[in-house]
Chain A
Amino acid sequence: MTNEEIKQKLIDKFGELVYHFEEPYGMLTFETETNNNLKVMTFLNDDADLEFTYLNDLTAVHYPENKGKELAVVYMLQNIKKSIRIRLKVFTDIEKPDVFTASNLFSTANWLEREAYDFFGVNFVGHPNLIRIMNVDEMDYHPLRKEYALEEQTRTDKDDDMFGR
């Protein structure tokens, strides 16, 4: 099964709802509508030929410049029999970052979604236990978002003009 065949099957099934197909470093990557993520994953999971039954990884990325679509949730699914990996992305608004949870489909997603919530504030609708996992419960921000720069920005004791830190 090639990436081209997987892409064709997805387009046959979902038409306009799946788009931006790419193949960075050989891995088929595509996007879908935010509220369509579960449908795509269920189809990939259930289809007898595709059999993407294994959730390899789930994470989020913050793109502050991408107005209205600031947060990306990246799923990586694998067909474990044929060793094929694909990547699915959904984008969501940072003001209302609601994405349907995949934890009913894959138990793997439970903690990975909690991690994405903890660090990026993605609200996984329907998650059984969406609480912080790494950081303290009292924390009131999501630290991996780009607005929280790592170094104290008001420091004046360092002059980094020369080296473009």
Chain B
Amino acid sequence: MKQNIQLPEGSLEKQTTTLNLGPTHPATHGVFQNILEMDGERIIDAVPTIGFIHRAFEKIAERRAYYQITPLTDRLNYCSSPINNMGWHMTVEKLIGAKLPKRVEYLRVIIMELSRIADHLVCNSVIGVDTGAFTGFIYVFEFREKIYEIFEEVCGSRLTTNIGRIGGFERNFSDLAFQRINAFLKEFPKAMKEFETLFNRNRIFMERTMGVGGIDADRALNYGFTGPNLRAAGIDYDVRVAHPYSSYEDFDFTVPIGTTGDVYDRYLVRNEEIWQSLSIIQQAMDKIKDLDPTVFHADIPDFYLPEKADVYSKMEALIYHFKIVMGETEVPVGEVYHSVEGGNGELGFYLLSDGGRTPYRLHFRRPCFIYYQAYPEIVKGMMLSDAVITMSSLNLIAGEIDA
């Protein structure tokens, strides 16, 4: 809404300028539209409009068998889709009461932490790009590529992974996968150190990010912030610690927190989380050495597809295969909420089952949908260029906002 600008007496009357930032703009990294009211270069008001890539996943999920919903979750936060996939598998496992072997849980932890690193790398290096430092982006994107190569070796795809199945993984990790993980653990810290040297104490970067886009702890909680953005404001809420899943309680890691909740703190929190993730992956690699290397799924024949060779030669396997593929497996009636610590916050699945083939209702608690509504409050009074880096530092993913 156009407003009059306060000017000294006797000046010509002036009004604010309306500026459409987005929906397609090179600086917004996704389909975001903000209708900004500007006084010169200063933002008076912002109105975000969302829904440009809304695909009605919650409705589609009501017509799909449980195993067919995994590909939908890929397309929420597509920077870390394995976390979404496994969050969904764990929700269904909670509903059916499946107990998973330790090795499966540790393998999941490895994959989830790798995707957390990938997610944070995208976010942090893009803050660099938006502040005019392209080099860091190039340094770390090579390693994001290496993470995708690991996913490729484990499940066959890279971005929208559809990794794992209800009850475990579709196949065991190959030797090559472990080699790639080990190579990553060995090489990545060097690049990460280089990246940090480039930014952490860089005067230009600090001037651009410190005190920009801050939110205090009370407001952040009131706005339902989760993940690194909440922790940057000083609240040590991490789903991995508060509501442990997939044996995260077996791992030793710290939850980094910031103080001011500004862009710089968010950047530092994410960087530290990358180091913590690396340590978790290392611990998980050590832990699985002592476990039976042939275990990669739980023993739940009602939900986990049998070996193809058995399907052709054994009666039970054929029946299970048919029932699973047609989605005719019995599911308990129940109401379950499960959440995982996604790349940008608490990703929750609220699942209502009426015992039928499909969920009665499935609701995704998407972290960035919830905290994006704080954006107008954060950017009010800031410069336009600060609004752009605030947006990239919040780690907003259009696919997740619009579901």
List chain A positions with a Cβ less than 8 A from chain B. 24-25, 27, 29, 53-57, 59, 61-62, 74, 76, 80, 83, 85, 87, 106-108, 110-112, 115, 119, 133-135, 143-144, 150-151, 163-164
Contact = CB atoms under 8 A, between A and B. Distances in A.
Interface of B: 50-51, 54, 56, 58-60, 62-63, 94-95, 219, 221-224, 235, 237, 242-243, 326, 328, 334-337, 346, 348, 350, 352, 357, 360-361, 363, 365, 369-370, 372-374, 402-403
Nearest to A83: B242
Given A25-B94, A25-B336, A135-B54, 12 more contacts: A24-B334, A54-B221, A57-B337, A57-B350, A57-B365, A61-B361, A80-B221, A80-B242, A108-B373, A115-B369, A150-B60, A151-B63
A63 to B, nearest CB: 9
Given A83-B243, A134-B54, A106 B222 contact: yes
Contacts of A144: 58-59
A87 B334 CA distance: 14
Given A57-B365, A59-B350, A150 B222 contact: no
B242 A150 contact: no
Majority secondary structure of chain A interface residues (helix, strand, loop or mixed): mixed
Nearest to A85: B337
19 contacts: A24-B335, A25-B94, A25-B95, A53-B221, A55-B224, A56-B365, A57-B350, A57-B363, A61-B360, A80-B221, A80-B237, A83-B242, A106-B224, A108-B223, A119-B58, A134-B51, A135-B51, A143-B59, A150-B60
B374 A107 contact: yes
A87 B223 CA distance: 18
A158 B43 CA distance: 55
B54 A25 contact: no
A144 B242 CA distance: 32
Contacts of B54: 134-135
A21 B248 CA distance: 30
A57 B370 CA distance: 9
B126 to A, nearest CB: 24
A80 B239 CA distance: 10
Contacts of B374: 107
Nearest to B339: A56
A81 to B, nearest CB: 9
Contacts of B222: 106-108
A134 B243 CA distance: 30
B50 A108 contact: no
Q: Which 5 pairs show the lowest CB-CB distances between chains A and B?
A: A108-B224, A83-B242, A134-B51, A59-B363, A134-B54
Contacts of B224: 54-56, 106-108
Contact of B337 (A27, A55, A133): A27
A150 B62 contact: yes
Contacts of B235: 80
Among A24, A53, A57, A76, residue most surrounded by chain B Cβ atoms (within 10 Å) = A57
A51 B185 CA distance: 42
Contacts of B326: 163
A23 to B, nearest CB: 10
Contacts of B237: 80
Contacts of B363: 57, 59
A33 to B, nearest CB: 20
A151 B374 CA distance: 36
B373 A110 contact: yes
Contact of B59 (A80, A107, A150): A150
Given A87-B337, A111-B370, A144-B58, A134 B402 contact: yes
